């Protein structure tokens, strides 16, 4: 997905250099909405063992991501492709004995990665559709017209102008609205 993620230095099996560590990362996270409780994680592994994605992925491990963040491996966490595999099923959130709200912590990691421009294309498409139509998916004209013959009421307005107005000043939205050349994304 991102160039950074493809370089071998980002792999979790690579030796850790002291210069890579950001000792303040975990304190930043504690202040963010969703990852307030990251320091309470005692690495029991419940999240990983109960995660449906971890069962089928060789690389996605929520416990490891949280551990890496606690250690200060900020860049490795945020550049990690596996971050985007989480299905947001909330099983980990419901079962974590320390009430870490694991799925929200993963979401915070993703938000931070997105701010750096590292995120899968599908989100760019959905955001574009949102700004254009008010809906996350471009609903084909044909579908909208077909509603009448299906006995369904007309689809309510998406009011995209108002969507754009309310999203003014949101960092992520401003970022994707910039022309491609100005983005630092490594898509």
Partner 1 sequence: MGNKYLIFLGCAIPYRVSSFEISSRKVLAKLGVELVEMPEFNCCGLPLDPVSHETMLILAAKNLALAEQQGLNILTLCPGCAGTLKKVNKILKQDKALKEQINSHLKEAGLEFKGTIETKHLLQLLKEDVGLEKIKASVIKPLTDLKVAEHNGCHILRPKEIIGFDDPEDPQTLKALIEATGATCLDYIDETECCGAPSVGVSDKVALALARDKLNHVKQVDAQALITICPFCHIMYDTNELRIEKMFNETYGIPILHYPQLLGLAMGLTPEELAFNELRVNASKILKQLTQGANKQ
Interface positions with ligand SF4 (CB under 6 A): 41-47, 51-53, 62-63, 66, 86-92, 96-98, 100, 102-103, 106
168 binds, among ligand SF4, partner 1, none (CB under 5 to 8 A by kind): partner 1
Question: Rounded distance, CA 5 to CA 77, Å?
Answer: 10
Question: Rounded distance, CA 142 to CA 145, Å?
Answer: 5
Indicate which single residue of 39, 71, 128, 167 sits in contact with partner 1 (rule: CB under 8 A): 167
23 binds, among partner 1, ligand SF4, none (CB under 5 to 8 A by kind): none
The DSSP call for residue 12 is: T
Q: How far is the CB of 66 from ligand SF4 (least distance, A)?
A: 5
66 binds, among ligand SF4, partner 1, none (CB under 5 to 8 A by kind): ligand SF4
Q: Does 97 bind partner 1 (CB under 8 A)?
A: no
Q: What DSSP string describes 40-95?
A: G-----HHHHH-HHHHH-SS--HHHHHHHHHHT-HHHHHH-GGGGG-----HHHHH
39's CB contacts (< 8 A; 6+ apart) are 26, 30, 70
Q: How far is the CB of 13 from partner 1 (least distance, A)?
A: 20
Is 145:168 a contact under the CB 8 Å cutoff?
Answer: no
- Taking the least distance from each CB to partner 1, the nearer of 30 and 87 is 87
6 binds, among partner 1, ligand SF4, none (CB under 5 to 8 A by kind): none
Q: How far is the CB of 151 from ligand SF4 (least distance, A)?
A: 38
**Computed from CA positions of residues 30, 33, 37, 38, in that sequence, does the dihedral angle turn out positive or negative?**
negative
Only segment of 12-20, 69-77, 150-158, 178-186 that touches partner 1 (CB under 8 A): 150-158
Q: How far is the CB of 36 from partner 1 (least distance, A)?
A: 12
Q: Which of 130, 139, 127, 140 is nearest to 161 (CA)?
A: 130
Q: Does 183 bind partner 1 (CB under 8 A)?
A: no
């Amino acid at each position: 997905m991102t160039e950074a993620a493809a370089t071998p230095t980002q792999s979790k099996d690579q030796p850790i250099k002291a210069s890579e560590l950001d000792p303040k990362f975990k304190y930043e996270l504690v202040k963010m909405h969703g990852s307030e409780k990251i320091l309470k994680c005692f690495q029991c592994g419940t999240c990983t063992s109960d995660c449906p994605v971890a069962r089928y992925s060789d690389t996605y491990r929520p416990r490891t991501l949280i551990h890496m963040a606690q250690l200060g491996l900020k860049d490795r966490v945020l550049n990690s492709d596996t971050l985007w595999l989480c299905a947001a099923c909330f099983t980990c959130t419901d079962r974590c004995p320390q009430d870490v709200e694991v799925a929200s912590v993963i979401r915070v990691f993703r938000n931070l990665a997105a701010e750096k421009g590292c995120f899968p294309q599908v989100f760019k498409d959905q955001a574009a559709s949102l700004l254009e139509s008010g809906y996350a998916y471009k609903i084909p004209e044909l579908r909208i017209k077909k509603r009448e013959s299906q006995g369904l009421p007309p689809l309510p307005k998406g009011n995209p102008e108002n969507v754009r107005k309310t999203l003014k000043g949101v960092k992520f939205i401003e970022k994707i609205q910039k022309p491609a050349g100005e983005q630092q994304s490594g898509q």
